[in-house]
């Protein structure tokens, strides 16, 4: 690993990202009733006929653990631990932990749900303060894995991994690959690596070998037989950890190639992927057109964030930090229901053989899909499932909090002999270096100004401070009052390797509304922040001249992080704030605007 994270409690972030993490903790992760609601699916065996209630608990716990890392909230830790201990009690004697009725196990989304339960346990194991409870959890994980291996794999009476689901080439089942690699890493037991090797040898998907497809030049995910983005990304994240375990470059190359293919053909201006539901569809090209179905699913965004953060840690290449930054500030932040809307206009669909019923549901903290062209948020609840006592949930509400935690985990990273700053968002970090407590803090926010200040107290220690130089701007750097010349390395970082005392570093980015053009449409981006027209601005004026850079203005009409006004009167706000009045049928936004209107 090139990069790692500081210990829990050693990094605190500020600004809008912190406010969203605090909101997720308050509204979701401190709600003990939600954990019990999701956990009880393993007791009720509520899943059958291809449903997926079993995923909710593990996703939710993983998100809670990631937000605990960002906050060190003691009450949150206790709630997580209590829920983990509850679900340990639902594991059957043979190691089975399944939300599926017994007659339908190893079909549909059963392995997917088992995977997420194991992910929840692993997430707790990594933050556990109790060695005894950590050992208990790992022992249970081994039993759960053994129960799966008794029924799945090669051999008489076993089901092949690609036969355990008829959904999307069994990508959902294959994605358990990563869990077995984590168990191998924790226990050293070769049988878990052997099972992982078996999954990789299957090709990860029925009908095509995804490893070979990823390595094939000119072959892109939107062209493949199976195009389901979320589950495929999860499979490649598992493949990354397989590459590290077996030390084979081929598999690492496949993962890197897969991500670059997505970036080239399905990564949109706001970082969302797949403009038609949850599928790769060449959305990099098609993003300027209205979508028939809601797209840019939040689960896809979060899963790609998770993979990119892993690749950033492994490779040290800021390319992945750039992708993370785009997804965080735009698609992810835009999906947070931080105006506390009741989401009554978002359909929760219960499917029948001949259609579906739209049923009432509660409000959720995360929206499921992100619009780009003349559309509103809050139209459909992704992965919607009804639960007991009139409750309900969806895959994206279960996953969004994990994405917020990943933002905190991406901002500031540690490496041998130094540290790296990836996002220019307020933070304070402290670490022990040769027995001395050093601190590094950043003051400022790119939402309002390109002028930022880094304060370092290095206590006379030498280390390399790496700063990512983003593609949207090269800053002017002043160190202790004197201009500092720098070069950018092949991974996109500048380095200041020196003995640090009480030092100040001033960074000044030239922030302006950069004009982007595609398919006869234009969009604007200010630094990493994509701008959008919000219907609450009223009738849209004609577009400004090409050289208009816009100016930041105060916008009291609705909650926002930044609003830019151009010559001619056009106003655009940050995408993360646009059209969040989800309960208003007139709500809407557009990122891509008609270029002909000059």
Q: For residue 403, which of 53, 21, 72 has the smallest C-alpha distance? A: 21
Are 275 and 286 contacting, i.e. CB atoms less than 8 angstroms apart?
Answer: yes
The pLDDT of residue 16 is 98
Residue 437 exposed, middle or buried by CB count within 10 Å (0-12, 13-18, 19+): exposed
pTM for this predicted structure: 0.98
Residue 128 has pLDDT above 50, yes or no: yes
Residue 578 has pLDDT above 80, yes or no: yes
Mean pLDDT in residue range 558-568: 96
The model's pLDDT over 403-423, given as tens digits with 9 standing for 90+, comes to 999 999 999 999 999 999 999
Location of structure tokens 């965004």: 301
Are 261 and 216 contacting, i.e. CB atoms less than 8 angstroms apart?
Answer: no
Q: CA–CA separation, 251 vs 239, rounded Å?
A: 7
Question: Six-digit token pair at 64?
Answer: 């809670």
Residue 32 exposed, middle or buried by CB count within 10 Å (0-12, 13-18, 19+): middle
Are 35 and 57 contacting, i.e. CB atoms less than 8 angstroms apart?
Answer: yes
Residue 323 has pLDDT above 60, yes or no: yes
Neighbouring residues of 370: CB distance < 8 A, sequence distance ≥ 6: 270, 272, 295, 296, 298, 301, 331, 334, 335, 377
Q: CA–CA separation, 43 vs 38, rounded Å?
A: 10
E strands within 361-469? Answer: 385-386, 392-393, 412-415, 418-421, 425-433, 436-445, 451-468
Q: For residue 474, which of 420, 530, 424, 531 has the smallest C-alpha distance? A: 424
Mean pLDDT in residue range 194-205: 99
Q: CA–CA separation, 28 vs 401, rounded Å?
A: 8
Percent of all residues in the chain with a pLDDT value above 70, rounded to a whole number: 99
The model's pLDDT over 325-346, given as tens digits with 9 standing for 90+, comes to 999 999 999 999 999 999 999 9
Beta bridge partners, 594, equal: 521
The model's pLDDT over 535-549, given as tens digits with 9 standing for 90+, comes to 999 998 888 888 888
Number of residues that make up the chain: 598
Give the strand pairing for 513-518 and 204-205.
Answer: unpaired
Start-to-end CA span in the chain (Å): 50
pLDDT class of 598 with cuts at 50, 70, 90? very low
**Other CB atoms within 10 A of residue 339 CB:** 12
Question: Six-digit token pair at 390?
Answer: 């009139």
The model's pLDDT over 258-285, given as tens digits with 9 standing for 90+, comes to 999 999 999 999 999 999 999 999 999 9
Rounded to 5°, the CA angle 366-367-369 comes to 140
Mean pLDDT in residue range 345-353: 94
Question: Six-digit token pair at 447?
Answer: 């939402």
Residue 191 has pLDDT above 90, yes or no: yes
Q: For residue 463, which of 487, 491, 429 has the smallest C-alpha distance? A: 429
The pLDDT of residue 596 is 59
Q: For residue 274, which of 258, 264, 261, 287 has the smallest C-alpha distance? A: 287
Q: How far is CA 386 from CA 57, 62, 476, in A?
A: 14, 21, 54
The pLDDT of residue 288 is 98
Residue 597 has pLDDT above 80, yes or no: no
Location of structure tokens 């646009």: 578
Question: Six-digit token pair at 142?
Answer: 């081994």
């Amino acid at each position: 690993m090139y990069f790692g994270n500081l210990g829990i409690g050693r990094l605190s972030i500020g600004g809008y990202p912190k406010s969203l993490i605090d909101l997720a903790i308050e509204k979701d992760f401190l709600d003990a009733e939600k954990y019990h609601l999701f956990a009880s699916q393993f007791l009720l065996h509520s899943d059958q006929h291809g449903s997926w209630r079993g995923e909710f608990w593990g996703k939710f716990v993983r998100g809670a653990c990631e937000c605990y890392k960002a906050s060190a909230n003691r009450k949150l830790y206790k709630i997580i631990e209590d829920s983990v201990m509850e679900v340990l009690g639902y594991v059957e004697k043979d190691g089975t932990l399944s939300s599926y009725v017994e007659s339908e196990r190893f079909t549909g989304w059963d392995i997917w749900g088992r995977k997420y339960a194991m992910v929840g346990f692993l997430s707790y194991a990594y933050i556990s303060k109790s060695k005894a409870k950590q050992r208990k959890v790992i022992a249970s994980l081994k039993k759960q894995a053994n129960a799966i291996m008794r029924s799945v794999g090669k051999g008489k009476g076993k089901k092949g991994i690609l036969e355990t689901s008829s959904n999307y080439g069994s990508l959902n089942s294959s994605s358990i690959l990563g869990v077995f690699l984590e168990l191998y890493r924790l226990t050293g037991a070769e049988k878990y690596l052997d099972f992982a090797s078996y999954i990789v040898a299957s090709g990860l998907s029925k009908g095509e070998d995804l490893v070979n497809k990823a390595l094939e030049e000119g072959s892109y995910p939107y062209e493949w037989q199976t195009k389901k983005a979320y589950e495929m990304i999860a499979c490649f994240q598992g493949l990354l950890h397989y590459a590290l375990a077996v030390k084979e470059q081929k598999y690492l190359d496949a993962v890197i190639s897969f991500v670059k293919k997505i970036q080239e053909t399905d990564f949109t201006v706001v970082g969302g992927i797949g403009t038609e539901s949850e599928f790769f569809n060449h959305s990099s090209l098609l993003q300027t057109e209205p979508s028939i179905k809601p797209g840019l699913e939040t689960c896809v965004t979060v899963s790609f964030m998770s993979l990119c953060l892993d690749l950033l840690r492994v490779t040290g290449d800021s390319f992945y930090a750039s992708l993370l930054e785009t997804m965080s500030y735009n698609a992810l932040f835009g999906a947070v229901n931080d105006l506390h809307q009741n989401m009554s206009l978002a359909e929760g669909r219960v499917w029948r053989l001949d259609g579906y019923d739209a049923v009432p549901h509660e409000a959720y903290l995360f929206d499921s899909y992100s619009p780009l062209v003349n559309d509103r948020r809050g139209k459909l609840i992704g992965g919607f499932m009804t639960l007991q006592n009139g409750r309900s949930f969806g895959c994206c509400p279960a996953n969004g909090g994990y994405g917020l935690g990943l933002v905190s985990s991406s901002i500031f990273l540690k490496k041998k002999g130094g540290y790296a700053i990836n996002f220019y968002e307020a933070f304070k970090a402290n670490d022990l270096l040769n027995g001395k407590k050093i601190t590094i803090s950043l003051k400022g926010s790119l939402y309002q100004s390109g002028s930022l200040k880094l304060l370092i107290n290095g206590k006379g220690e030498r280390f390399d401070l790496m700063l990512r130089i983003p593609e949207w701007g090269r800053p002017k750097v002043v160190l202790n009052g004197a201009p500092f010349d720098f070069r950018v390395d092949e991974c996109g970082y500048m380095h200041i390797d020196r003995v640090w005392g009480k030092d100040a570093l001033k960074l000044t980015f030239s922030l302006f509304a950069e004009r982007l053009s595609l398919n006869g449409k234009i969009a604007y981006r200010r630094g990493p922040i994509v701008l959008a027209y919000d219907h609450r601005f009223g009738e849209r004026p004609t577009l400004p001249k090409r050289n208009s850079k816009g100016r930041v203005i105060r916008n009291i009409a609705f909650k926002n992080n930044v609003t830019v006004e151009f010559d001619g009167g056009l106003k655009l706000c940050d995408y993360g704030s646009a059209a969040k009045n989800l309960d208003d049928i007139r709500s809407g936004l557009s990122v891509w605007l008609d270029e002909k209107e000059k």
